[in-house]
Amino acid sequence: MRKIVFFFTAFCFMQTLLYGQDEILMTIGNEKVTKAEFERIYHKNNSSLVYENKSPKEYLDLFINFKLKVLEAKAQGYDTMSAFVKELKGYRDQLAKPYLQDKEKIQQMLDEAYDRTVNEVNASHILIRLNPNASPADTAKAYNKAMALRDSILAGKAFEDIAVAYSEDNSAVRNKGELGWFAAFRMVYPFENAAYNTPVGQISMPVRTRYGYHLIRNNGFRKSPGDILLSHIMLRVQPDADSATRQEAVETINKCYELLKQGEDFAALATKYSNDQASARYGGKLRWISSGELPVDIEEIVFALTDSGQFTEPMKSQFGYHIFMLRDKQPLKSFEELKSYLEGKMANDDRQKSTDLMYIQKLKDEYGFTEYPENLDELIGMVDSSLYDGNWDPATAGPMIDPVFSIGDKDYSQLDFGNYIIQIKRYSKREPVETICRRRYNDFVNEKILDYETGKLDKKYPEFGYLMEEYHDGILLFNITDDKVWSKAVKDTAGLEKFYKKHKKQYKWQTRADISRYLTSDSSLVPNIVLYAPQRAAKGWSARDFNALVCGQDTLACVEVEDQKLEKGSDKNLDSMEWEKGTIKTYTEKGKNGVLYINKILKPQLKKLNESRGLVTADYQNELEKQWIQELRGKYPVSINEEVFKTIK
């Protein structure tokens, strides 16, 4: 927590302007500070809630001290330490994320997702399965099969018949390929995209997804009906159930329907008869459901319900028999209301990958991207089956110094790519070596292009550069201050002891009351507590002895005893008493009965180190910092251009 607060405070002092042709305000050691830099940081400081507003002159020493500490941190190599480099990289990676994306494309994707949330599509499909990492030969075979089926449909064969006969989606036998109504995010993005972009009544070209190739027929569009809140009674029947079991379920669901018509409570019937255990225990209540989540025939009926409490007739599904009751309906929300939801869904959807690839293509166009396929092929030809077990060594391929691609002024060699491949120690033997290499090559290209852009963010986006300077100097400032001041004061016990002895008169107890506080939930015990409290003070009874006397035969303590030494202002009940030995007060607070007894009054006295360690440590830290600043000012001379300083606004 201290580090977070420190960073926030330190940002008020950070360098926020790269040196330009500006007036030099001061020189600290060999480092020149411009007027514009100081003004920018000064105004940032005075606009924050951390400090009260200061004049430029009042602020000047704070700024110089900050600069001195950062200079010393660099001089001592803090900026080269592995922990620092790792931490700064972590901050940089996080800060870079918003810059490494095409915000315009993302907004277009959000708009598209909302439009497809409002407008649903009904589609049918035929699937030809294909492994995502299939070889080129298997990929061509699956594609050609899909094309042959499409040609058959276009020649007059019924889509439904082809789906039943050839689709490798097992549900096609039952639904003839029809998937019903769906909206954004219900299907993988390439499938969704093709369904929405194919004209109504037409058949798409083969569409590749992670499952294989699809032929998609758009059956129509409609406005989304929103979300619906239902309860249901369900009699589950397995597909292979015998006729007697099925008949029993039919009779039970019909019985429930008749009882509902007679006014029986739906929740009570669901609890008694429904064998959907997850909902039956809650009276049949289901979560909010969007269109596309229920079988088409059931969805059409339940979304047609209009009044809360209205229920359907018994319905059959592949799972058994149901009666649904409407509890509530919810229309679609506005774009602004759904924006956060859409952004969250996009982050875990192929849309994000799509926008990432579009952004990478934009960078390729901006910086000039060149590939060298012959050099790539040469390297891939050197990779053998030892790659599967992590034993392939790029060094065995020879020098391999020729580039596989270049971006801007940066070339990436065959060896660079070879070393990238072996970052993964094992690969699946189900995937051909060449396929692995070409897939990893695409990852390599995308990663390095983003790295190239990340390296240019500081100059391309000045605000990013300023922020990175803040983090850079803030981490250095924290680390060196911790070593030189904070942790040093805690660890240096001899120095702390010496500082305490020199300044111990500063750490005094004011007049204190030595008190005993007695708390009990039994008000009948208060008279005995009042009676025995003075005796305990006189005879030095322990809390256990006192409880044995007051509580009688009780095996557990009936009175909480607290012995304390308190200054005025630390307890409202004590403050209301006359501060004399033997004074006693009874009170009630937070449901308990209290008795406060003053055993004696303690005169002002010096605090021992263990009684004032927190204050002494804080003061010792301040002393160490003053000494350190004095040393730094001797090590790094500070020269201020007074004429320029007078013009600070």
What is the per-residue pLDDT across 257-309, written as a single tens digit (0 to 9) for each? 999 999 999 999 999 999 998 999 999 999 999 887 888 789 889 999 999 99
| d(C-alpha 515, C-alpha 402), whole Å | 85
Q: What percent of the chain has pLDDT over 90?
A: 81
| d(C-alpha 22, C-alpha 366), whole Å | 31
Distance (Å) of CA 464 to CA 16, 95, 307, 468: 10, 8, 55, 6
**Whole-angstrom distance between the N-terminal and C-terminal Cα of the chain?**
34
Judge contact between 193 and 210, C-beta under 8 A: no
Closest to 358 in 3D by CA, of 270, 296, 449: 449
Mean pLDDT value of segment 245-254: 94
| d(C-alpha 106, C-alpha 91), whole Å | 23
Strand residue runs (E) in 112-249: 119-129, 178-182, 207-209, 212-223, 227-236
Identify the band that residue 49 occupies on the pLDDT scale cut at 50, 70 and 90.
low
Q: What percent of the chain has pLDDT over 70?
A: 95
Q: Given this model, what pLDDT does residue 556 score? A: 79
Mean pLDDT value of segment 503-511: 95
Statement: the pTM of the whole predicted model exceeds 0.85? no
Q: Does domain 227-330 have CATH number 3.10.50.40?
A: yes
Instruction: Identify the sign of the CA torsion 281, 282, 285, 287.
Output: negative
Instruction: Count CB-CB contacts under 10 A for residue 384.
Output: 12
* 538-547 burial: b if 16+ Cβ within 10 Å, else e: eeebebeebb
Residue 385 has pLDDT above 90, yes or no: yes
Identify the band that residue 331 occupies on the pLDDT scale cut at 50, 70 and 90.
confident
Closest to 67 in 3D by CA, of 41, 34, 28: 28
Condensed to tens digits (0 to 9), the pLDDT of residues 514-571 reads: 999 999 999 999 999 999 999 999 999 999 999 988 887 766 789 999 999 999 999 9
Residue 11 has pLDDT above 80, yes or no: no
Mean pLDDT value of segment 404-431: 95
Q: Is residue 467 classed as helix, strand or coil in its secondary structure?
A: helix
Identify the band that residue 332 occupies on the pLDDT scale cut at 50, 70 and 90.
confident
Condensed to tens digits (0 to 9), the pLDDT of residues 197-208 reads: 999 999 999 999
- How many helices (H) and strands (E) would you count in the chain? 27, 20
Q: Is residue 555 classed as helix, strand or coil in its secondary structure?
A: coil
Closest to 269 in 3D by CA, of 284, 248, 279, 285: 284
Instruction: Identify the sign of the CA torsion 316, 318, 321, 327.
Output: negative
Angle (nearest 5°) at CA 337 between 336 and 342: 80
Q: Given this model, what pLDDT does residue 18 score? A: 39
Mean pLDDT value of segment 466-480: 93
Closest to 117 in 3D by CA, of 187, 191, 183: 183
Mean pLDDT value of segment 188-192: 95
Mean pLDDT value of segment 183-196: 95
Q: Is residue 133 classed as helix, strand or coil in its secondary structure?
A: coil
Instruction: Count CB-CB contacts under 10 A for residue 588.
Output: 10
List all residues 6 or more positions away from 60 whose beta carbon is below 8 Å from its beta carbon: 640, 645
Judge contact between 269 and 254, C-beta under 8 A: no
Q: What are phi and psi of 509, to 5 degrees?
A: -85, 135
Q: Which residues pair with 229 in a beta bridge?
A: 288, 328
Condensed to tens digits (0 to 9), the pLDDT of residues 50-78 reads: 556 788 998 999 999 999 999 999 999 99
Summary mean pLDDT of the chain: 91
| d(C-alpha 210, C-alpha 206), whole Å | 13
Identify the band that residue 8 occupies on the pLDDT scale cut at 50, 70 and 90.
very low
Closest to 166 in 3D by CA, of 212, 218, 210: 212
Mean pLDDT value of segment 584-588: 96
| d(C-alpha 598, C-alpha 571), whole Å | 13
Mean pLDDT value of segment 204-228: 95
Identify the band that residue 234 occupies on the pLDDT scale cut at 50, 70 and 90.
very high
C-alpha radius of gyration, the chain, whole number: 39
Condensed to tens digits (0 to 9), the pLDDT of residues 105-164 reads: 999 999 999 999 999 999 999 999 999 888 889 999 999 999 999 999 999 999 999 999
Q: Given this model, what pLDDT does residue 342 score? A: 93
